Structure formats: structure tokens, C-alpha cells
Structure 1
């Protein structure tokens, strides 16, 4: 009988959805007869809950960071996390359970920390599907990933393994798979394809700066662009994600000043190609972005991070000299000018990407 595998995610942060998408593709390639579904559990509940959690997360992180900081300060203990989960479960649980009864998965893979909530659902308690939580915060995961000490977890770094053990996850429930990013980042873009894309996107200068900040773009993107476009001999590529206001602002700025060296993207599925063409990437401290940039041996400048889960990412980059942490646009531009004119000081990190081994592991559960 073909396996039924459910990949659970949300869009509260881009890394959860990206992980679920990559696993979905790999699982269906490895076992075409398996039925593998992506499931954003907010889609089956009241719309206001999705707006409050997903849209609220993105708004707080990118617009009102203090709100997110207050929420995280509350979210520091197991009782607080479990109480919040129960309150949400009162409205979401019936619809989620109905979906599970309809699909009847024999494996549930969590790409978002909701295993402790799903465990109480009637379908899960009755049928006991095999479960696995893939921790998408690579270097410094929060306690809410490890509330359920009975579940099995995949972690992608020694730092995350230590944090999981500190939160009382037994070693037999921990599975270590390095890095966990899309396998296409294992090797660079072929030179002919890279040249074709440079011509297609009008990247005619010898040095390219990529500015990206996930789905919402970087808060400092516009100020940074104004500093960068004046540097000689560089292309400035900005990914705005879903931030239409930023996209329109930069597009108008490009047209007003006739800036041929400024290329603006909205939401794009071509991050692999863009990172390949870049010499340096300016981004926030998302774990997947850091791993993708370092896998392709590009210079990295982190200009922002979300406390507390991305703080460890910044410290790792700084301590290991894998990149730079610079917040101010003028100082970022100065560092880019310096990198452009002399060899980088950073170390080269050889990352082993084990996402395909993880997909095989899931199929063998």
C-alpha cells in the first residue's frame, strides 16, 4: 500500500514552507507511488487565526519588532507555550482532525513546531501515525520546537543538538542531518547559464550585490540601495518578496534616476540563480539563507536578525569569521567597496547538505 505522508507547515516565516516544499519534491521523486501532501494547518481554520499568526508574525518581525520581542518574552516556558497551543487548538483542532481523517496519513512530518498540539488530536491518538519534527532553525532553535519530549526530532547542527538535549529531548529521539537546504545549492550554476542570466537581467557591471530579506524584504533596503547605486562598477539586485510597497518604491526610484545597474525583483523562485550571480549577499540572519550563501562560497553581510532564534546565527557567523554583521547602510556600502577591491577575509566553510538523506530516512520510518 502506498505511503501517505503529510508535511505540516505554516507561512509564519519563509523557512518552514521552503523546507516542506523541498521535502515534498524529494519524497515524490524518490517514491513516486507515495501520496505526499503539503498542509498549512491555518488554511482549514478561521481566516482571522491565519491573519493573526502568519500575517501578525510577518508584520511584527518586519514592522514592529518590539511586538515580537514582547511575545517571545512571554513564550519562554513550557506552560506558556502549551497554554497558547490549547487556546489555538480550541478553534483549529476540529478542522485539522477532519482533514487528517480524510487523508489518513501514516506519517506526519512537522516543519513547524506544532507536534505537541497534534498529539492530542483524536486521529493521532487513535491511529498513532509515525511522526518526526524537522527543526528548521539550524543553529539556535527556540524552546517551542522541543515542548514534546516524546517526539522524534531532526536537527541540522551540533548547536541545535545541544539545545535539544538541554530541553530534555532524549538522545535516542534526536537525529542529526547536516545543513538541510535545497540540493541544487550543492553545486554552482553552469557558466553558460550564468552568463545567459546576466544578459537577461542586464547585469553588465563586473561586481554584483544581492540584497534580500525573505518574504518581506529588508527594512533598510531603500536606504541601502541609495548608498550602493553610487558605487562604481556594481550591479545592485534587490529581492522585495511580498513587499509591494518596497517594490514600487524601488521601481520608481530606478525610473526617476535612470539606474541601469539597479535590478528589482518582487517574490521570486530564482534565489539559487541570484545567489550564484552575486559576489556578496546582504541579508537578515535567516538560517537557510546563511547556509545557501556559504554553500556557494559567496561573501555574506548580515544586517538584521530576529531575536532570539536568529541571534545564534549571527554569533556563529561572527565568531567563525564566515561573514560580517553590519547594520548601518553607509557602513555596509563601505564594506562592499572594500570587498570589491581586495580578497575577502572570511573563512571558507565546507557544508555537507544531507537533505536527500533525510528524505530517504522519512521514507524508511
Structure 2
């Protein structure tokens, strides 16, 4: 009989589900047919209004409402605040969630969300005592205290800075392992030549390719950045990923571009797109940055979610794997400078990114 692994997550951004899927994929790859993988959005699927509506607020908070998000993030860093929030949330959601745990009876529980560690440990204690509980911190560098529950069996982090922060927040050092960011197996095997990959995607094999990504929700100043690059970096070509943002995709598709440009919505072939590109322009999401490191892709970070992603920017800059610029004109200027003949910076950043991978 297969062992059952339950992943606790919430779709506040795409990174938590993506991490759970990547880990589940790796488990199946290493141990075929030995485990049953369950991935549950606990708040959406096992709570009532208004708690089950909270994930819907995240796209606005992480885009237009970043000031409110930063305030929320900073306030909840105070232990007495987030413990109070978790205690109240636990009381409001206890019955349905405990019923779910009793029905599922997992053999292993893995949390990939900061709001599901302290509560998750208690749910396991009450329904399936003795079952191992793992936390996988999906933030690359900056660790919010809610991630850190010393009662867990094991805590897995992406980087050494994240390990240091987790220890400072109270996680016993012997429980922490640095494992890197969970990334899908499709990024592992990238042997195809860049030029051959481009030809398969109807891209010009000779023009430098700039990949602009706004995350799964297509947030940030993607349109303005693309327009600046198109007008000022005439030797290049553009690939733009608008994610689930249909309005952005339609707006981009309506443009008469000055250089060859391809516009996509939500994509499943990001490894191929990154392999074809020479420069990535993206926000500072940990998943996308890790994928870029694996792809040896120099990065221009165009924005970050205050609080949790600020450390990611510093990590890229300190390791000289890219640059940070918010203004579209400054981003276009950086791209143009990097692509000038004889500029060795691009190759050095590529090597540095590969070292981080």
C-alpha cells in the first residue's frame, strides 16, 4: 500500500503550489509508485467565508496594494501578533480541517506556506499523532517568523541566508537542511543548443532574445518595459509572458512592434523560453529566479513584493547574477549596454547564475 504525503498550501501567489508540485514530481521520479501525493489549498477548500476568500486578495496586495502588504508583513513579524492571528484562525477553522485530516490520515505532512506550520503541527497532533511534519520554506532569502515552528520534524530552506534567519527566529539548527529551491524536473535537462531551440520557436537565431516575465498573474510594468526595449534596443527580439493577465496580453498583441516580438499568456514551456533567451526581465519571485539560475540566464529584476522578496534582490546583486532597475527606460538602457559588442559582463553574469544553481 502506498504511503500518503499531504502537502499543505494556499494559492497566495503561484509559488506555493509550484513548489509542492515540484517536490511531488521529484518524489515520484525517485520512488515510482511508492507514494500518493495530495496537494491541498487548506484555506480555499476546507474553510468557510470569509477565510476562504483571503487568497483572492493576494493578487491585489502584491501588485497595486503593496503598501498595505508591507504593513501587514511588518506587523505580523511581531510574535504576539501572528500568534494571535493563528490562534484565532485555528479556532474558526478547527472543525472542518480536523475532519479533513481524520479522513485523509496522511503518513507524512509537508507545509509549503507560512500560515500552515504552527496550525499544521497542532492538526497533526490531534488527528494523526506521530506523523512526521516537514516545513519547506519557499521564500529564498527572507524568512518571516510565521515560517518557523520549532516543533516540526525538519525544516528545509533554499539558501544559507535563509538558514541563518530561520535559526535567529528560533528553529533549532539541527532541524534545518539547505536544499535549494523546489524547481520542476523539466529544468534539469537543457542540452539543446540555444540556436536550435530558437528555430523551433520561430525566433531569429541571430538576434539577442529578451524574455520579459510578469509572473503567473502578469503583474508589474510589463507593457511599459516592453515598449521601451522595443524602441531603444533595435538589435534585439522580445518574448513577453503575460501570464493569466488577459487584458495585458490583448494590449501587447495590439502593438505594432519595432522589433520581432512574441506574446504569450500563461505558459507551460518556461524552460524552453529561458533556454532561448539571453536576458530575463522579471520581478523577484524565488521560483523564477531559481529557474533563471539553472538556465544560466542574466537577470534584470524590475520589482519585488515588499518584505518577503527584498532579500532576493540583494542575493542576486551580491552574487553578481544580474541587476535591479524599476524604471522601464533604465531597464532598456541596461539591456542595450549589456548587448554591446565586446561587453563581457553578460557572460560573467551567466557563469555567476550557474554557480548559484
For normalisation by structure 1, the TM-score amounts to 0.88
| Aligned twin of 2:299 | 300
1:215 counterpart = 2:189: no
Provide the secondary structure at the position in 2 that maps to 1:119. helix
Secondary structure at 1:121's aligned position in 2?
helix
1:153 pairs with one of 155, 160, 183: 155
Work out the CA distance in 2 between the residues paired with 1:232 and 1:204. 15
Query: Are 1:189 and 1:273, in contact at CA under 8 Å, matched by a contact in 2?
Result: no
Cα 1:314–1:221 shift into 2, 3 Å: same
C-alpha distance 196-282 of structure 1, shift in aligned 2 (>3 A): closer
Q: Is contact 2:293–2:356 with CA below 8 Å preserved after alignment? A: no
2:8 and 2:111 in contact (8 A); partners too: yes
Q: How far off its partner does 1:208 sit?
A: 0.8
Change (3 A) 1:44 1:198: farther
Q: Secondary structure at the match of 1:190?
A: coil
Q: Is the 8 A contact 1:201 1:263 kept in 2?
A: no
Deviation of 1:112 after TM superposition, in Å, equals 1.0
**Residue 332 in structure 1 maps to residue 331 in structure 2:** yes
Alpha-carbon offset, residue 116 of structure 1: 0.4
Query: What is the distance in 2 between the residues matched to 1:294 and 1:122?
Result: 36
Tell me the residue number matched to 1:11. Answer: 11
Alpha-carbon spacing, 1:124–1:108, altered in 2? closer, same or farther (3 Å): farther
2:169 match? 167
Quick one: structure 1 residues 352 and 313, their matched pair in 2 at CA, closer, same or farther if it must change by over 3 Å? closer
Matched, 1:130 2:132: yes
Q: Structure 1 stretch 313-322 or stretch 295-304: which is displaced more?
A: 313-322
CA 1:80/1:233 → structure 2, altered by over 3 Å: closer, same or farther? Answer: same
Q: TM-score, normalised by structure 2?
A: 0.90
**SS across alignment from 2:33:** coil
Contact 2:282 2:303 in 1 (8 A): yes
Give the aligned partner of residue 318 of structure 2: 319
Q: Partners in 2 of 1:32 and 1:126 — Cα distance?
A: 23
> 1:179 touches 1:352 (CA, 8 Å); kept in 2?
no
CA distance in 2 between counterparts of 1:98 and 1:245 reads 40
RMSD: 2.2
Compute the displacement of 1:47 (Å): 5.5
Structure 2 counterpart of 1:270? 269
Contact 1:205 1:233 in 2 (8 A): no
Residues 41-50 or 236-245, more deviating: 41-50
Give the aligned length.
347
Map of 1:358 onto structure 2: none
Q: Is the CA contact 1:217–1:241 (under 8 Å) kept in the aligned structure 2?
A: yes
Checking the alignment, whether the CA contact within 8 Å between 1:13 and 1:58 is kept in structure 2 is yes
State the shift of 1:186 in Å: 3.4
Q: CA deviation at 1:62?
A: 1.0
Q: What is the CA-CA distance between 1:281 and the residue it aligns to?
A: 0.2
Structure 1 spans left out of the alignment, 5+ residues: 354-365
Equivalents in 2 of 1:174, 1:125: separation in Å?
25
SS at match of 2:201: helix
Residue 172 of structure 1 deviates from its aligned partner by: 1.9
How many angstroms apart in 2 are the aligned matches of 1:158 and 1:123? 30
Q: What aligned pairs does 1:214-253 form with structure 2 within 5 A after superposition?
A: 214-230=215-231, 231-253=233-255
8 A contact 2:26–2:185 mirrored in 1 = no
